[in-house]
């Protein structure tokens, strides 16, 4: 995709459903992306496949794969101290609750 810093949006090409989308880009995200790029300075890719030294990352021709993105997200979550919290409610419980309130 393309980043339009002036309009603060990202053009996602062939995303989910192979559709193009324009997505809002918050200021904090733009700053983070700029900082990321200053580290690797790959002229074509914002998220190049990270293998080897910074010189090889600068010359990378392929983007980060799904596993690399998941590993990066896990690192961020761990460093921020975010604990996984989820609530599991059986579908039957929710359906019954909705039906009882509707009657």
Q: Is pLDDT of 24 > 90?
A: yes
Token pair 């980043």 is at which residue? 3
Give the number of other CB atoms < 10 A from CB of residue 67.
Answer: 8
pTM (2 d.p.): 0.57
What pLDDT does 73 receive? 79
Q: What is the pLDDT of residues 36-82, one digit of tens each?
A: 888 888 888 888 887 777 777 888 888 888 888 788 878 888 888 87
Higher-pLDDT residue of 98 and 71 is 71
Whole-angstrom Cα distance, residue 78 to residue 44?
30
| pLDDT at res. 1 | 59
- 10 Å CB burial of residue 1 (0-12, 13-18, 19+) is middle
- The residue whose two tokens read 């509707």 is 102
């Amino acid at each position: 995709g393309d980043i339009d810093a002036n309009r603060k949006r990202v053009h996602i090409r062939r995303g989910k459903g192979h559709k193009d989308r324009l997505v809002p880009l918050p200021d904090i995200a733009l700053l983070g992306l700029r900082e990321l790029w200053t580290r690797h300075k790959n002229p074509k890719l914002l998220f190049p496949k990270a293998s080897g030294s910074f010189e090889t990352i600068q010359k990378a021709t392929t983007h980060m794969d799904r596993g690399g993105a998941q590993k990066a997200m896990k690192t961020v979550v761990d460093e921020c101290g975010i604990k996984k919290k989820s609530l599991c409610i059986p579908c039957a419980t929710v359906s019954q609750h909705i039906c009882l309130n509707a009657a």
